[in-house]
Structure 1
């Protein structure tokens, strides 16, 4: 069995679904179920003996100790995090609590559990922490992509707390010998994405006839990674990665926000055309957010060189699958876009 934290969130839930579709090994799914955690994403696993769900906060040491002692996982994959930059600007305290205190609490529980394992099980045990490219800061237009040796320079409360989490994971390997692995990924997109991030927000707003808000001049650059590709990379790192090492996971898809929105609008024009005009007509530029990093870009050659991983999807194929998924799953979208969500979006993008 493996233990997954944050397994009801966007990437975590996709990982759980992907894992159980290709592996015969059960998952203990630990999630606090904040606004971004959604059990409806895991509906297809109801009744499955391979999926055990526990509603637990990773800051609850006693609950973690109990779960580890009862289920005896051979690995931990740590997704649980507050992850939206805009929300971290509005309320950083939750990010410090979950991303820093939560990771510390989990590390302490895992260290105690791992330390008491028999020799063979102790040697085989792994803990993989899933992080972000945002810990590296912002790149200029001609700067080389982020590598695993790029110095950390986080610029938002979100990325600062993820950097702190990464440092703790590294320290627990070097100080205590805990067999940790860290992955730093670029922007994910795909099915089951909570519609506060760029791609799902644009899709849901476009279909609802609302404006498509674009920060600043729309020229901020991100590298885009289809979520199922990310899941396959994590499986590779968990299985074959070297303890103490970090691995960058990227999609080799640098796009400006404006390019992303244009491509999304064109896909919607093709797949669900409006009665008149184009979805591009709904685009509007809004005041940029504070400290908005200009460019992120991931160099994922280490992962390809050492573990043989490359993304299967191009940006175009992955984005078309994503748009089609949202068109086919409007009930899921309607369930997660509650009144509280609408209130937050309305205030934030006013």
Structure 2
């Protein structure tokens, strides 16, 4: 089954999230548009939000459009990063989004928590710098001459505000749980790791000033990375995630430690998980696996997108067809582009 489009996601998201666990706040992605946040009661109508999150929503209505955009970005990025894997972050049916796979403490859940938290931090930060929000703007805490000889100037992205808002809003739902649990600790850790993936990959951008670009003076500012770069970082962390278990400290506190003592303790930026993932080869309602029957695979690849691994050894069928597409396009002065229509034969491979 192929990933659905962002529009289809928005339509099915809210109904799904009421039955899922841990990321119900993603129901904000179902709001039809940014203007809806100005309507009375919109925050309370979103059943996916916890009580405290609804209060934060009411107090920060102008920020919620950026939260919605961050949630949609996270879902799209998840589907992009996992498009060639057995679990491809796809939606299915009219109710569920990611299915029961996110009810266990598996790697996939770790990634979704991280990329969702990163999405909100990224989107809110960008909204601050663009002037879309009255309550925040550029980061003015960095100024003066740097050790590298340039002047800090321009509009540095306010990642401190974006990350703090994401933490306050997203973690609020987790903290409302009655008892501390390994799943709670895992979710909070991965939420934080997602935000750090944005913070730790801030870039320095510069502009030269002077006659004919002589760069007599160079001014620089800090900017957030593209969200595609954030997704790539988190995908690498997914592949290298640490399996952990809960350990009690003293009489009340708990922490997560690496289950295999031969591995180093995870850092704040690493993803952690508690349970092994299903193999996702066959449909299984207990684990939320959709199976890989009908999925496209790469005949020549030896990686996870290859037909042997994607199809779990079941084999694949070959489909042949012909498509008509634009070709031999030429620019004509002024100002049109004229193309021919060409037929192209194709061959694709589908898991049995």
Which category describes the TM-score, using the shorter chain as reference length?
A: under 0.3
Report the structure, 1 or 2, having the larger strand content. 2
Report the structure, 1 or 2, having the larger helix content. 1
Considering only CA atoms, is the larger Rg found in Structure 1 or Structure 2? 2
